[in-house]
Amino acid sequence: MERLVQVNRDQLASELHQVLEQTLAKVMDAVNSAKDGRLIEDGEQPVFDLMKQLECCVFQKALQLRVDFFPLRRTRRATPS
């Protein structure tokens, strides 16, 4: 079995830049929506949920990038020069 190729870290950052920007905006919206005197009580759970979603998205994208490069490498090898 062929090994999966290593994916450049910048590729992941590039792929997720927009997702990160959107998530950070939602985090700030959640904290800004918290009532005065209840920043932690009102803001913590929504931010936690957003961070869990981001965590899943990042891990899924990292796995997908690694797997997606496998057929590319195989196809390029099979193609005559």
Query: Is residue 74 domain-resident?
Result: no
Find the helix packing angle between 39-78 and 9-33, rounded to 10°.
160
Domain that holds residue 32: 12-69
Query: Is residue 49 domain-resident?
Result: yes
Query: Is residue 2 domain-resident?
Result: no
Total count of domains within the chain: 1
Query: The whole model's pTM is what?
Result: 0.78
Query: Is residue 80 domain-resident?
Result: no
Local confidence band at 35 (pLDDT 50, 70, 90 cut-offs): very high
User: 38-78 pLDDT, tens per residue?
Assistant: 999 999 999 999 999 999 999 999 999 999 877 655 555 55
Query: Is residue 5 domain-resident?
Result: no
Query: Is residue 56 domain-resident?
Result: yes
Query: Is residue 1 domain-resident?
Result: no
